[in-house]
Amino acid sequence: MSQLKKNIDLSSYHTFGLPHKTDALFEYESEKELIHFLKTESHKFKNLMPIGSGSNLLFTQTYHGCLLHNRDLHIKVTDRNETYTIVQTGGGLDWDDFVAWTVAQKLYGLENLSLIPGTTGATPVQNIGAYGVEVRSFIKSLEAIEIATGRKYTFSNADCRFGYRDSIFKNEWRNRFVVTSVIYQLLNAPQFNVNYGSLKQEIDRLGSLNQENVRKAVINIRNSKLPDPDVTGNAGSFFKNPVVTQTTASKLLEQFPAMPNYPAEDSSVKLAAGWLIDQCGLKGYQTQKGAGIHDKQALVLINKGAKNGKDILELARYVQARVKSQFGIELEPEATIL
């Protein structure tokens, strides 16, 4: 059943757990409920924005508008052939619950993306990725509702214009559409990607190379490095790993030969934002206002008692300034700041 709530405390709707409010929040369990709301009630609000689990959001003030909270949790196999199985999910389904389901069903491809917080509806917006895998490789299409009109659209993989932690829904079409369901094309046979050193080492420790052990290894590594948002407020990786030209990377490597670097698209080079922050001596740093940097992963900003998202944002800008000063690199937030 759908429900419209007003003047809601957002502490339990985003993983930083900050006590900012929203004028209204509409929860729905089906496309039909959302379309009806958009056509009959949405004119009462200036700003409408889709929200999942809030695992990639930093609120810095009251949200003057209405948040659209997807609670559609369905999973449905829609097609299958010798190579692929096509699965549709409701956009409100917890992402890791879906990954666990794929492993139980022996459907392959998503195991490297285990334990990433969020919902399936958010995965194409952010183009989530980890350990050499991006979700765009497994998204066949998605269904979305246009907020202004309540009209339903189907978008192909190419329509989404995926980039590194990016899509058209994060930029040009930000807050124009609500992703209501995602159609994934999963492999019926394994094609494991375990080239990341720490992942391969953990799999070797667990035993044989299989889907269950890949998932266990990813979960073990993430749990060892990342704080539980239910215990310590955070939005996971706060910054994107910067992508630079080969020339820039070569100059930096002359000065910092231990700097981690990885080949990226178009002959560019991806650097490790966490390493850059750590080299600035900021791992474990904490402000008097309760904003901090995780002591095991410098890429993660944490809430250690902050009362306002502006305190987290102030720390983020300080981190950006330190990295720019030492390395000449501009760090770009991965989290959406509101």
Asked whether the predicted pLDDT for residue 17 surpasses 90, the reply is: no
Q: What percent of the chain has pLDDT over 90?
A: 54
pLDDT tens-digit readout, 187-207: 999 999 888 768 888 998 998
Tell me the angle at which helices 95-104 and 211-225 cross, rounded to the nearest 10 degrees: 150
pLDDT score recorded for residue 120: 95
pLDDT score recorded for residue 229: 80
Average pLDDT of the chain to the nearest whole number: 90
What span, in angstroms and rounded, lies between the C-alpha atoms of 67 and 69? 6
Asked whether the predicted pLDDT for residue 265 surpasses 80, the reply is: no
Tell me the domain boundaries of the chain.
Answer: 3-70, 75-187, 233-337
Q: What is the mean pLDDT of residues 15-26?
A: 90
Question: Strand ranges (DSSP E) for the chain?
Answer: 3-9, 21-28, 48-51, 57-58, 63-70, 75-80, 84-90, 129-130, 133-134, 139-146, 152-156, 177-187, 233-237, 243-244, 261-263, 269-271, 291-293, 300-303, 336-337
- Alpha helices in 53-140, H assignment, sequence order: 95-104, 123-126
pLDDT tens-digit readout, 143-202: 999 998 999 999 999 999 998 888 999 888 988 999 999 999 999 999 998 887 688 889
Asked whether the predicted pLDDT for residue 100 surpasses 90, the reply is: yes
- Is 75-187 in CATH node 3.30.465.10? yes
pLDDT score recorded for residue 184: 97
pLDDT score recorded for residue 192: 92
Q: What is the mean pLDDT of residues 30-54?
A: 88
The CA-CA-CA angle for residues 162, 166, 168, to 5°, reads 65
Contact (Cβ atoms closer than 8 angstroms) between residue 214 and residue 112: yes
Asked whether the predicted pLDDT for residue 66 surpasses 80, the reply is: yes
Residues annotated as catalytic are 165, 237, 334
What span, in angstroms and rounded, lies between the C-alpha atoms of 185 and 107? 9
CATH numeric code, 233-337: 3.90.78.10
Q: Confidence class of residue 259 from pLDDT cuts 50, 70 and 90?
A: confident
pLDDT score recorded for residue 5: 86
pLDDT tens-digit readout, 291-331: 999 988 898 898 888 889 899 899 999 999 999 999 999 99
Q: Confidence class of residue 224 from pLDDT cuts 50, 70 and 90?
A: confident
3-state SS class at 93: coil
Q: How far is CA 169 from CA 4, 127, 159, 179, in A?
A: 24, 10, 10, 9
Using alpha carbons only, how large is the chain's radius of gyration in Å? Answer: 20
3-70 topology per CATH: 3.30.43
